[in-house]
Structure 1
């Protein structure tokens, strides 16, 4: 799910809130240094990608016979990659189900 698509979904939610309540949507006051939700989401996806690339590179290096990398290091990198990807998929599924629940809530 792209960042622009997520922003579109959030804008739709904000528009529906404005329609339901007669007051305009007011953004909460955020500290100046706090990252936005989309930035956190984007960084998390990048971190998952980095763990997958690292696992792939370590596997290739081990297969080419690099003596500096042990099989246990390769297996550990692959498990970290698998767990981070599974967590990312579960977080995405939870966000989608929450969005669908909010959209199906009668007004």
Structure 2
């Protein structure tokens, strides 16, 4: 799923949530500067992707014999990538669980 498609889906969800709660599209002055949930989510996904690409590039450079990259640096970047991906998956699982709980709540 592309980032623009995800942004569109998240914007639709946010619009429907505002309509359901009776809020208008006008935001207060303090809330205008705050990032939306969809922006925060997309930023975190892009950061996870960036750490994975950095780890991949560093691994390829080390394997090609670059003298300025040590094995410890490669392993550290791979661990950072793995931890960020695992955290992203756990956050996704929690969001899906919360969504399913809300959908199963009787009205």
TM-score, with length taken from structure 1: 0.81
The alignment of Structure 1 onto Structure 2 pairs a total of residues equal to: 101
- The alignment yields a C-alpha RMSD, in angstroms, of 2.0
* Superposition deviation, residue 29 in structure 1: 3.5
Aligned to 2:101: 101
Which of structure 1's runs of 4+ aligned residues deviate more than 6 A? Answer: none
Aligned to 1:83: 83
Aligned to 2:12: 8
CA–CA distance in structure 2, aligned partners of residues 43 and 87 of structure 1: 14
Unaligned runs of 5+ in 2: none
Bigger Cα Rg: 1
1:104–1:10: structure 2 CA closer, same or farther, 3 Å change rule?
farther
Aligned to 1:20: none
Structure with the bigger percentage of helix: 2
Q: Say if 2:51 and 2:81, in contact at 8 Å, map to a contact too.
A: yes
Q: Report Cα offsets for 1:40-72 as digits up to 9, x if no partner.
A: 111111100100000000000000000100000
CA–CA distance in structure 1, aligned partners of residues 11 and 97 of structure 2: 17
* Superposition deviation, residue 26 in structure 1: 5.2
